[in-house]
């Protein structure tokens, strides 16, 4: 399986270069290399490459290594980077001279990973975590003098702080937030020693993020009852007191997920009915157009690049059957230019696969979207194995993009389905609110409704399904197998948040106070206590049969501490009444994100898939693709030393939250690379 997965990976993979002034920046891998190389070359040239940071070389003496973030200075002479050397998400911040290609004397530990340059290329803003692993301080380092100053301290233990920069590079932004409330301070990037200006004081339930355009702040916000967000404008001179003007009105059920502000365009990524769309608005006349994609199930991402005064928008697009396509979209001419198509070296024809969207009815009258894919030659039926994945937390929508790794299941006859359950914003803020706090059990009931609907529609049957979720999605797995163990033959719970009640009762844990708005505060709210006690997987294990289970943990995990899944597995072993496999693997050299190297990630995925294939009886031959090929050398599924891949996007709304829905590509956590933009 590992060889099969690796055969779909282009080993010299490289990103599409992004221009910034005289240079173009990109990330690539060398054949056989585990870690990325951060590179640049002269703009418009095909040669003259400079390797700014060699991830393989830096990782050679570390059991764990991940480049969390990298940011080149505006004058393009320096590279700041944040390196995680333990998996505990406490970063070492380092500085590299790109002209001399040497490391400078910068020793900052316990960084959170945010790195933002001031406009003078001399001052670097960064965040530092406290003893409870909470991003608490924003500091500013003078690279020339070595002076280090405290810029901002977040004193509320329920809030995390981060630092960013507007697309124009005019302002450095300090963002404080919990899952429901935001406060932003701004500093002129050309005057980095200026005291931060609060744009609007924190108000419970008010969320906002800002960019700048001309004399205005452009505010992406839920102000004025805009539950699914709108876009407003406020004068830069007095944003806290002057009335905010509507730029893009709120549309109930259409979530504005992301906004990019450029010199001539306002771009927004929206989601309606669990499908994304890109809308471009010209500042000159307010004219809007939608960038359309035709697949019934797909995923789209947007990126501004480093340059503010541009007509070009970078888009990436995929569907469950279609590999990623990267486009440069000319917003003036409304023309897409294909820059890259994800290569599958072992071969892949999207026409061989069927994508579909279903809607599962629930007992309370809602319908839950399901995105699914299967091989065209594999007509689903009651004997068909099906993998159902779900997340449903923090308002994070579930992406329905391409994963080359899933082909190892689909080509063996699996249907792969993604349930867009409540708790995410797949169908708007209402969908999120109906899957949090006192309504959290809707998330689990939705997953059950999706499983039953898939069986009723003839895609599979009870006992032929596998359930998967990671982190907060692992909570879903635990709650569902407690409530309906008969539906699933096997389940995989990656770094699962399963000891919910005890965790939310302990205010000393770093993630507990910031997450009371998401789950409820059982210390002060009796109803929250009863609700959490009623679904917390650890507290509801019963003397009953359970599916085959694979459970993972990471010893350095700061988000889901390793003893949570260990306690859950111990209680399951004590009470369950079956002889099914129950495996626990604790990674002793990684944290919440699992292995960092790209091939190490493939080994994790291979074991997870071997576990599923073994239990569901699909190990012998490929049903499609390479006909008659035998799966050999599959790891013993009883082994205790492995854990499956558990990628998460993390929650952009709360930097401290547990990892988001699994990356649709199954890849390692993406490297954050910044230049002047964000």
Q: What is the CATH number of the domain that holds 467?
A: 3.40.50.1820
Per annotation, catalytic residue among 72, 213, 420, 592: 592
Tell me if 488 is assigned to some domain. yes
Whether the Cβ atoms of residue 528 and residue 501 lie closer than 8 Å to each other:
no
How many whole angstroms from its chain centre is CA 420?
Answer: 15
Quick: pLDDT tens for 324-355. 999 999 999 999 999 999 999 999 999 999 99
Determine which helix (DSSP H) or strand (DSSP E) holds 272, and give its type and residue range.
strand 265-272
Per annotation, catalytic residue among 24, 71, 73, 471: 471
Give 385-417 as a DSSP string.
Answer: -EEEEE---TBPPPP----STTHHHHTTT-EEE
Question: Based on the domain organization, do 362 and 329 belong to the same domain?
Answer: no
Q: C-alpha angle with apex 678: 400 to 231, nearest 5 degrees?
A: 75
Tell me if 566 is assigned to some domain. yes
Structural domain ending residue among the three candidates 592, 616, 640: 616
Q: How much is the pLDDT for 653?
A: 26
Whole-angstrom Cα distance, residue 188 to residue 455? 57
Question: Based on the domain organization, do 454 and 423 belong to the same domain?
Answer: yes
Tell me if 626 is assigned to some domain. no
Tokens of 138: 């924003």
Tell me if 87 is assigned to some domain. no
Whole-angstrom Cα distance, residue 286 to residue 266? 9
Q: How much is the pLDDT for 673?
A: 35
Q: Is 204 exposed, middle or buried (0-12, 13-18, 19+ CB in 10 A)?
A: exposed
Whole-angstrom Cα distance, residue 677 to residue 118? 12
CATH of the domain at 327: 2.130.10.120
Catalytic residue flag (residue 557): yes
Q: How much is the pLDDT for 624?
A: 56
Tell me if 510 is assigned to some domain. yes
Structural domain ending residue among the three candidates 568, 593, 616: 616
- Computed on alpha carbons and rounded to an integer, the radius of gyration of the chain in Å comes to 24
Tell me if 292 is assigned to some domain. yes
Q: How much is the pLDDT for 63?
A: 87
Tell me if 143 is assigned to some domain. no
Chain-wide mean pLDDT for the chain?
A: 90
Give the contacts of 674 (CB within 8 A, at least 6 positions apart).
69, 70, 71, 72, 115, 116, 165
Question: Based on the domain organization, do 251 and 366 belong to the same domain?
Answer: no
- Cβ-based neighbour number of residue 361 at 10 Å: 13
Whole-angstrom Cα distance, residue 599 to residue 124? 33
Question: Based on the domain organization, do 450 and 327 belong to the same domain?
Answer: no
Q: How much is the pLDDT for 641?
A: 18
Q: Give CA torsion, residues 659, 212, 82, 552, to 10 deg.
A: 0
Question: Based on the domain organization, do 518 and 372 belong to the same domain?
Answer: yes
Question: Based on the domain organization, do 292 and 403 belong to the same domain?
Answer: no
3-state secondary structure of 357: strand
> Roughly what angle, to the nearest 10 degrees, separates helices 472-483 and 441-456?
60
Question: What parts of the chain have a pLDDT lower than 50?
Answer: 621, 623, 626-678
Per annotation, catalytic residue among 84, 316, 328, 557: 557
Q: C-alpha angle with apex 37: 33 to 41, nearest 5 degrees?
A: 135
Structural domain ending residue among the three candidates 343, 377, 400: 343
Give the pairing of strands 265-272 and 275-282: antiparallel
Number of domains in the chain: 2
Catalytic residue flag (residue 471): yes
Q: Which domain holds residue 261?
A: 216-343
Catalytic residue flag (residue 295): no
Question: Based on the domain organization, do 468 and 608 belong to the same domain?
Answer: yes
Question: Based on the domain organization, do 328 and 389 belong to the same domain?
Answer: no
Residue recorded with tokens 């004193």: 155
Q: Is the pTM of this model over 0.85?
A: yes
Question: Based on the domain organization, do 481 and 337 belong to the same domain?
Answer: no
| Number of residues assigned to the chain | 678
Tell me if 297 is assigned to some domain. yes
Tokens of 542: 């019963």
Question: Based on the domain organization, do 360 and 338 belong to the same domain?
Answer: no
Question: Based on the domain organization, do 252 and 359 belong to the same domain?
Answer: no
Determine which helix (DSSP H) or strand (DSSP E) holds 531, and give its type and residue range.
helix 526-535
Question: Based on the domain organization, do 412 and 446 belong to the same domain?
Answer: yes
Whether the Cβ atoms of residue 283 and residue 230 lie closer than 8 Å to each other:
no
State what percent of residues in the chain have pLDDT above 70: 91
């Amino acid at each position: 399986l590992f060889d099969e997965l690796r055969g779909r990976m282009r080993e010299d993979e490289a990103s599409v270069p992004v221009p910034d002034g005289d240079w173009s920046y990109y990330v690539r891998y060398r054949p056989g290399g585990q870690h990325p190389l951060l590179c640049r070359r002269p703009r418009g040239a095909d040669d003259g490459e400079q390797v700014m940071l060699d991830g393989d070389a830096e990782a050679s003496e570390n059991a764990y290594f991940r480049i969390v973030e990298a940011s080149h200075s505006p004058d393009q002479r320096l590279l700041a980077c944040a390196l995680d050397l333990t998996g505990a998400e406490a970063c070492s911040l380092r500085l590299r001279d790109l002209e001399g290609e040497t490391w400078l004397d910068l020793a900052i530990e316990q960084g959170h990973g945010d790195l933002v340059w001031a406009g003078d290329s001399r001052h670097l803003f960064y965040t530092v975590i406290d003893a409870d692993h909470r991003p608490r301080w924003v500091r500013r380092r003078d690279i020339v003098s070595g002076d280090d100053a405290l810029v901002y301290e977040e004193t509320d233990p329920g809030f995390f702080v981060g630092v960013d920069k507007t697309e124009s590079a005019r302002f450095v932004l300090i963002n404080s937030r919990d899952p429901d409330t935001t406060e932003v301070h701004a500093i002129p990037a050309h005057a980095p020693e200026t005291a931060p200006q609060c744009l609007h004081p924190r108000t419970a339930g008010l969320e906002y993020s800002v960019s700048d355009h001309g004399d205005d702040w452009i505010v992406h916000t839920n102000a004025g009852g805009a539950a699914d967000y709108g876009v407003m404008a406020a004068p830069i001179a007095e944003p806290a007191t002057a009335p905010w003007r509507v730029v893009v009105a709120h549309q109930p059920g259409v979530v504005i997920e992301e906004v990019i502000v450029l010199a001539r365009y306002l771009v927004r990524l929206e989601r309606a009915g669990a499908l994304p769309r890109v809308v471009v608005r010209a500042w000159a006349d307010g004219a809007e157009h939608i960038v359309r994609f035709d697949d019934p199930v797909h995923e789209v991402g947007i990126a501004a690049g480093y340059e503010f005064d541009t007509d070009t928008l970078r888009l990436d697009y995929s569907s469950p059957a279609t590999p990623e396509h990267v486009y440069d979209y000319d917003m003036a001419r409304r023309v897409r230019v294909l820059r890259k198509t994800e290569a599958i070296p072992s071969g892949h024809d999207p026409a061989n696969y069927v994508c579909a969207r279903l809607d599962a009815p629930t007992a309370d009258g809602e319908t839950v979207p399901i995105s699914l894919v299967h091989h065209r030659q594999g007509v689903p039926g009651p004997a068909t194995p099906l993998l159902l994945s779900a997340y449903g937390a923090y308002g994070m929508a579930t992406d329905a993009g391409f994963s080359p790794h899933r082909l190892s299941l689909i080509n063996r006859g699996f249907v792969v389905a993604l349930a867009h359950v409540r708790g995410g914003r797949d169908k708007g803020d209402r969908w999120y609110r109906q899957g949090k706090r006192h309504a959290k059990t809707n998330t689990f009931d939705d997953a059950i409704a999706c499983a039953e609907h898939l069986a009723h529609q003839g895609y599979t049957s009870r006992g032929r399904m596998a359930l998967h979720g990671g982190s907060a999605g692992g909570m879903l797995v635990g709650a569902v197998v407690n409530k309906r163990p008969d539906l699933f033959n096997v389940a995989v719970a990656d770094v699962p948040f399963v000891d919910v009640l005890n965790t939310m009762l302990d205010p000393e844990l770093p993630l507990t106070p910031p997450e009371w708005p998401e789950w409820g505060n059982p210390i002060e709210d009796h109803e929250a206590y009863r609700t959490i006690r009623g679904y917390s997987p650890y507290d509801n294990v019963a003397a009953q049969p359970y599916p085959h289970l694979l459970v993972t943990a990471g010893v350095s995990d700061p988000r889901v501490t390793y003893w949570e899944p260990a306690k859950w597995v111990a209680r399951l072993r004590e009470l369950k009444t079956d002889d099914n496999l129950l495996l626990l693997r604790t990674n002793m050299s990684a944290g919440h994100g699992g292995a960092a190297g790209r091939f190490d990630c493939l080994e994790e995925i291979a074991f997870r898939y071997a576990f599923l294939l073994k239990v569901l009886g699909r190990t012998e031959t490929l049903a499609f693709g390479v006909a008659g090929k035998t799966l050999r050398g599959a790891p013993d599924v009883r082994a205790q030393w492995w854990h499956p891949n558990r990628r998460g996007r993390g929650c952009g709304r709360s930097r401290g939250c547990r990892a988001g829905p699994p990356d649709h590509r199954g890849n390692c956590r993406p490297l954050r690379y910044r230049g002047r933009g964000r």
